[in-house]
A and B are shown apart, each in its own frame.
Chain A
């Protein structure tokens, strides 16, 4: 490890190079795809190398003794100063490496996926901006710097989700993502404002220490942690402001993979991990998080049961897994545990969810549809590499040994088990069952298409016209296809081995290794839940006799409720139209036109009218003028006489 100064410059390079790429492409090379690609790749490869270098070489840090390098960024007064700096400890170093890797893999993958797109250069510019925001988010030293990166993540996701802006649905989805996450962010901002006023600093370490040593007043702690959780809920798509995330599938698939694996949505959970001692000091907040996360888990898993769009399924599974992580973190805080389980699930999830999305991307790119039934009909299973890797990802997501998801899910379940009430672990198991079911629904449908004359095809017809949503037809074997398969193989490899690194990772993160006494009952229950889910999926979708009807079909009203996404979209649409536009905006506008402006105009017009009226006195007829003079003089005389 070099000196502190070198570390600072390396971190600065990690953060600023992608920003530089964004600026260069946007200003100079946006008409030249090849050059832009080169700039972007260079500016993402160097951070990748530096991130891994830091991860490997910085050894003598721990959560209690992080490495902090910073300079002053803005000093307004003694109480308001914003440093620009980096906080390097195991949590941020690991995340830094993961984010840099995934961002880099996505750039490679996009080579094939976005080939020939008219906005190719802009796409890489936005990816770079996204990379920069995420890298600075995970390393930020102060909460304000984190908040800035947080907002920039929001901005770049807006640009990426709405990338195909000429499509109304895409531009709408981008706007929705930005506004809904901003809705949570205002809470975050309020929390920061209160912290800076009543606590005096936004230094992450100081905030955590105050949580540990209980030096912060409890009211402030609870209020600010709840407010900060609003921001987390927005970014990590927790109920009730999760609605933006499924729509965010409008972006190109690599973007979905990027947003939904290790980066944007993980940012919320990462923030809880980052401020874990702070959150853990407030039982009220933890309980709120636990409840909301559980609702999120169940809501999204049930919607995942009925979705037909492969990306929607993965999106809802992301929402549910995020809920699961948040549950793990909240439960750990309540039961006095460590943040390891939730964070570990975040790490494994980053790998296998990116894998699942990228596989989906290959299918989508090949068949020009998002509907996995259509993919199945048109021979999806013949795409060998993606088919194998998607199955690996699905096994990990369902929590099957020996894939990474198995270990991390076990860890989270173990934490939930320690809560006094067993209802949480029960709900967690139920969520795991649903997850296994809907995941393998996708896999079985893809693997075992019905014969062409099967009645099920009536229901699962291709709805959009054949052909690509973008770009031209491409057949496997080209350079593009290989560029797309390479990340799949890498990620599948990671998914296979990451589970066995659990012990070393725990040692690395916490500086100590807790020997886990295996809870065989829980292990049995969790594996049982997953296997039941897969078994049921086999019965409904996989077996030769399966009718391709989900078990949910037996409950039509429930199915409809899930199909309508629990009416959350309806609710927010109503809120926006009826409350924001229909009430406030309308009333204020009316007031502005009629009352404020109308009042002024009324004064102006009455002056004008009064002038016109008085002008009748100026008729130039001498007799009238004399009469008026006399009248005024008489009035004046009377007034004076009365005064006497």
Chain B
């Protein structure tokens, strides 16, 4: 892959902006709530702006890795600080920027331990940015862990509904995943004979088939835990439910993508033969996840559980796209990572507003919310329609690409996944009907609708969703520019 060095360290700035914000927060006092929020917002905003900048100014004609920064760190082990942008991670960096920026705005009303909250949230997002831009496996894994650990504290302190159980479960699951990832990475590192963690260099090594097969399955399952691959998904609905709003947004919107992105970036990139060996298995797990997620979601009564299972199903689509190993499939999978991230962030953001007022997420108790808070309800309904796969939204294109290529590669599984779309629609509309239509519950009648300021983050999310729904080529030409060489290199 050709590398084009950055003239200005854009990526490092993107990465360090939350860190700087975090450091400033350490020196602020708890009662300076407004300053705390503003610092977090600016820190997130700078990253967001830089993410947009890289997304827009990435040159698809030139291709390859751009904005590269490379500084050796521990030479003895071949550890390098190596970051860059290409077509497949630019959308994810943008996604992270969107979600953290809107997440900070969504949490504007937080009252409890504001300073600590934003410190952990910024720490988390630093890790996420790091994973998406690193091309050195050591840093990749390091950032991966940085992203995972603050989640435990965020859920434990600011969470709700069985938060201790959920935080523990989530952390143990992800640790178990890491326990599989480390052997996988070390296996590749040690058997390459290059003493480098540089992924681009490792890609040039032709590993023996058994090493590939073994390493791939380790990495697949290890990262798969974070991507909520069935049957390692149960931590995710529980975690979503317990987490505070913006953490759910980050968690479902971005963190789960870390897993699927890592499968693509590390596992499939370094072990192409291992991928060929396990592709059928991957496709099977993904399809089970798609079908299973919608059916289980159909029986849930907690709004966040419903969204949690819809995530399981939608992440199954990402997995299915990856498993096809075709250009269309991978394009769709990366597109779906982005689209699902925005959609699910909107979902949680909308639910967060309603939950903060009504203190319930039980769809049997809510009802007629459209009458009480039309705008807040509209946000949720838009997200639900997006989840139901309505065209004009970004996820429609992603699902289309994945499903068509899935039918091509695994006909039965592909058709099954298509058939589950009807359950997906039933699933989304059932929730919408129960919560937002019918007679309003008089208990909630006095709540005010969302203010323009609090509506802003939700509008941003909807804007991105619809923009890429109407002009998918903007995103796709970028993704394609790195997927095509990726497939050729496999």
Contacts and interface: CB of A to CB of B under 8 A. Distances in A.
B265 interface: no
Contacts of B404: 80, 192-193, 196-197
A122 to B, nearest CB: 9
A74 B476 contact: yes
B269 interface: no
Contacts of A460: none
B235 to A, nearest CB: 8
Interface string A177-194: 011001101100110111
Contacts of A596: 231, 233-234
A537 to B, nearest CB: 39
B421 A186 contact: yes
A458 to B, nearest CB: 33
Given A152-B392, A182-B425, A193 B440 contact: no
Contact of B295 (A75, A158, A182, A588): A588
B390 A151 contact: yes
Nearest to B407: A193
Interface in A127-156: 144, 147-148, 151-152, 155
B95 to A, nearest CB: 19
A226 to B, nearest CB: 14
Contact of A179 (B300, B368, B429): B429
B203 interface: no
A141 to B, nearest CB: 16
B437 A581 contact: no
Contact of B328 (A76, A144, A167): A76
Contacts of A77: 326-328, 331, 480, 484
Contacts of A162: 437
A contact face: mostly helix, strand, loop, or mixed? helix
Given A152-B391, A155-B385, A155-B390, A171 B433 contact: yes
Given A74-B397, A74-B473, A588 B296 contact: yes
Central interface residue in B296, B326, B430, B438, by most chain A CB within 10 Å = B296
Contacts of A26: 378
A80 B231 CA distance: 32
Contact of A190 (B332, B392, B418): B418
Contacts of A158: 429
B439 A166 contact: yes
Contacts of A196: 404
B299 A80 contact: no
A72 interface: yes
A589 interface: yes
A174 to B, nearest CB: 8
Nearest to A31: B374
B299 A585 contact: yes
B388 to A, nearest CB: 8
Interface in B329-354: 331-332
B234 A597 contact: yes
Nearest to B368: A166
Contacts of B370: 165
A76 B327 contact: yes
A160 B130 CA distance: 46
B214 interface: no
Nearest to B475: A74
B472 A175 contact: no
Interface in B403-459: 403-405, 407-408, 414-415, 418-419, 421-423, 425-426, 429-430, 433, 436-440
Interface in B462-486: 472-473, 476-477, 480, 484
B298 interface: yes
A525 B481 CA distance: 67
A586 interface: yes
Contacts of A183: 422
Contacts of B390: 151-152, 155
Interface in A554-604: 580-581, 584-586, 588-589, 592, 596-597, 600, 604
B422 A76 contact: no
Contacts of B172: 604
Nearest to A586: B299
Nearest to B377: A165
Contacts of A182: 388, 421-422, 425
B112 to A, nearest CB: 29
Contacts of B415: 190
A76 B331 contact: yes
Nearest to B420: A186
A193 B473 contact: no
Central interface residue in B233, B371, B390, by most chain A CB within 10 Å = B390
A186 B418 contact: yes
Nearest to B479: A76
Q: List the 10 shortest-distance A-B pairs measured between CB atoms, nearest first.
A: A171-B437, A165-B437, A148-B391, A597-B234, A77-B327, A589-B299, A588-B295, A193-B407, A585-B298, A175-B429
25 contacts: A74-B476, A76-B328, A76-B332, A77-B331, A148-B396, A155-B390, A165-B437, A167-B438, A168-B439, A171-B433, A171-B438, A182-B421, A182-B425, A189-B403, A189-B418, A189-B421, A190-B418, A190-B419, A193-B408, A193-B418, A197-B407, A589-B295, A589-B296, A592-B292, A600-B234
Interface of B: 169, 172-173, 231, 233-234, 292, 295-296, 298-300, 326-328, 331-332, 368, 370-371, 378, 385, 388, 390-392, 396-397, 400-401, 403-405, 407-408, 414-415, 418-419, 421-423, 425-426, 429-430, 433, 436-440, 472-473, 476-477, 480, 484
Given A76-B476, A179-B426, 4 more contacts: A76-B331, A151-B390, A193-B408, A600-B234
